Structure 1
Amino acid sequence: MKRKRLARLAKLLVLISVSICLMIVDEKSTSLRQFRSFVSVVALPFHMAASSPAIFFRWIGGDLYDWNKLNKEYQNLQREHLILRARIQQLETLEYENDRLRNITSSAERISYEVMFGQVVEIGVDLYENAALVNRGTVDGVYVGQTVLDSNGVVGQVRRVGALESLIMLVTDTSLGVPVKVARTGLHTILYGSGREGLVTAPFLESTVDVVEGDVFVTSGLASSYIAGYPVARVVEIKRDPNLAFLDIRAKPIADLGSLQEILLVWPGANEDISLAPLGSGK
Structure 2
Amino acid sequence: MEASNSTQISGFLLLGLSKEPKLQPLIFGLFLSMYLVTVFGNLLIILAVSSDRHLHTPMYFFLSNLSFVDICFISTTIPKMLWNIQTQSKVITYEGCITQMYFYILFAGLDDILLTVMAYDRYVAICHPLHYMVIMSPQLCGLLVLVSWLISVLYSLLHSLMVLRLSFHPSVQIPQFFCELKQVVQLASSENFLNNIVMYFAALLMGVGPFSGIVYSYSKIVSCICKISSAQGKYKAFSTCVSHLLVVSLFYFTALGVYLSSAVTHSSHTSTTVSVMYAVVTPMLNPFIYSLRNKDLKTALKSLCLTPSIKDQLY
Q: TM-score range by the shorter chain?
A: under 0.3
**Which TM-score applies when normalising by structure 1?**
0.22
Larger Rg: 1
Q: Which has the higher strand share?
A: 1
**Which TM-score applies when normalising by structure 2?**
0.20
Q: Which has the higher helix share?
A: 2
